[in-house]
């Protein structure tokens, strides 16, 4: 079974609804969790008054709008994204601020002159780009000498694919293994270049790509975490949340693969375990700062 994109613009739909399962309290929680990521990425960019920042893959503007107070009245922020809808969202937030410019282009082909920006920020963007070397070379091209690249990227190859004997970090009883395998196949069989690009590389690959792009000074901190899962207050909201713009959520995966009786049996086991938080969470990410 293959899964195709959700909606006409999966990126905009994910930011608007699927990332938080349509729940406003969860939306607020997501933004709270992203705040320290934004601050660290901005800190790595070392912005000064009057600088021009390129926020590559800006999404709904989390990093770019956080940069405006740092570049001051004489500075500029270029919001770049492949989604017109997300750029429209940023335009609405900018409300005519002359310091903001909007570019609809992939990070592999930026319509910007050589050496035209002082810093580049990237958050969870390269993970979706199959041609990561090309993207990093392009980001290096548009930076001025001594320009800074500051990025955050998840390291999904650490936790995907999940072992057969667990589901979302919960160890399965033997009788549910066949059902779990069918559900997992929904995600494992997705055949999109940008989805496959999320899992086919490691932290060492990223470091090598940045160096090969021509950056002369690189500081990369990768972090791996194994910890108990947090107890889930609202399982239904969690089941509606999609992990990224290219995948079905849990509720959709169950609907696609199991009949009504099988779903009832699987959820009768999964829900109380998720609500109790008795599983294990494995994740990894990295912050990288480089100077041209």
Can you give the pLDDT at residue 4? 37
Give the per-residue pLDDT at 237.
96
Which residues, in sequence order, are bridge partners of residue 287?
A: 152, 221
Q: What is the pLDDT of residues 36-60, one digit of tens each?
A: 999 999 999 999 999 999 999 999 9
Tell me the per-residue pLDDT of 226-242, one tens digit each, with 9 for 90 and over: 999 989 989 999 999 99
Write down the pLDDT at residue 70: 98
Give the pLDDT of residue 29.
94
Nearest to 121 by CA among 201, 193, 189, 39: 39
Tell me the mean pLDDT in the region 74-84.
Answer: 97
Domain definitions of the chain by residue range? 10-291
Q: What is the mean pLDDT of residues 167-196?
A: 95
Q: Give me 26's structure tokens.
A: 């969860």
What pLDDT does 159 receive? 87
3-class secondary structure, 44 = helix
* pLDDT at site 278: 87
pLDDT, position 161:
87
Q: Given this model, what pLDDT does residue 5 score?
A: 41
Tens of pLDDT, residue by residue over 111-164, are 999 999 999 999 999 999 999 999 999 999 999 999 999 999 999 999 888 999
Give yes or no for a cis peptide into 161 (omega within 30° of 0).
yes
- 206-214 own/partner pairs: CB under 8 Å, 24+ apart: 206/126, 206/132, 206/153, 206/286, 206/288, 207/288, 209/132, 209/133, 209/136, 210/136, 210/149, 210/288, 210/290, 212/133, 212/136, 212/137, 213/133, 213/136, 213/137, 213/139, 213/140, 214/137, 214/140, 214/292
CATH topology of domain 10-291: Rossmann fold (3.40.50)
CA distance 254 to 263: 7
Q: pTM for the full model?
A: 0.93
Nearest 5°: the CA angle 52, 56, 60 is 105
Query: Is residue 2's pLDDT more than 50?
Result: no
Nearest CA to 121 among 89, 91, 78?
Answer: 78
Q: For 251-282, give one letter per residue: b (16+ CB within 10 A) or e.
A: bbbbeebbeeebbeebbebbeebbeeeebeeb
Query: What pLDDT sits at residue 8?
Result: 73
Tokens 């099988």 map to which residue?
A: 262
Torsion of CA 5, 287, 28, 243, to 10 degrees: 30
pLDDT higher than 70, residue 6? no
pLDDT the model gives residue 22: 94
């Amino acid at each position: 079974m293959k899964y195709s994109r959700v909606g006409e613009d999966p990126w905009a739909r994910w930011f608007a609804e699927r990332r938080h399962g349509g729940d406003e309290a969860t939306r607020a929680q997501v933004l709270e969790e992203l705040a320290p990521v934004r601050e660290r990425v901005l800190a790595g960019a070392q912005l000064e008054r009057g600088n021009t920042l390129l926020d590559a893959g800006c999404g709904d503007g989390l990093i770019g709008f956080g940069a405006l107070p740092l570049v001051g009245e004489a500075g500029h922020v270029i919001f770049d994204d492949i989604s017109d809808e997300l750029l429209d969202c940023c335009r609405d937030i900018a409300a005519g601020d002359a310091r903001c410019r909007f570019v609809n282009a992939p990070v592999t082909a930026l319509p910007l002159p050589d050496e035209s920006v002082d810093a580049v920020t990237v958050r969870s963007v390269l993970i979706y780009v199959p041609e990561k070397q090309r993207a990093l070379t392009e980001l290096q091209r548009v930076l001025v000498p001594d320009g800074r690249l500051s990025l955050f990227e998840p390291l999904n190859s650490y936790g995907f694919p999940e072992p057969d004997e667990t589901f979302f970090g919960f160890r399965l009883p033997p009788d549910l293994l066949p059902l779990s395998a069918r559900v997992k196949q929904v995600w494992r069989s997705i055949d999109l270049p940008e989805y496959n690009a999320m899992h086919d590389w490691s932290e060492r690959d990223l470091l090598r790509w940045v160096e090969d792009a021509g950056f002369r000074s690189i500081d990369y901190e990768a972090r791996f975490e194994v910890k108990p899962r947090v107890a889930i207050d609202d399982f239904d909201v969690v089941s509606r949340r999609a992990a990224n713009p290219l995948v079905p959520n849990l509720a959709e995966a169950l609907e696609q693969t199991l009949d009504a009786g099988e779903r009832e049996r699987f959820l009768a086991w999964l829900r109380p375990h998720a609500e109790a938080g008795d599983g294990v969470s494995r994740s990894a990410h990295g912050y990288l700062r480089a100077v041209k």
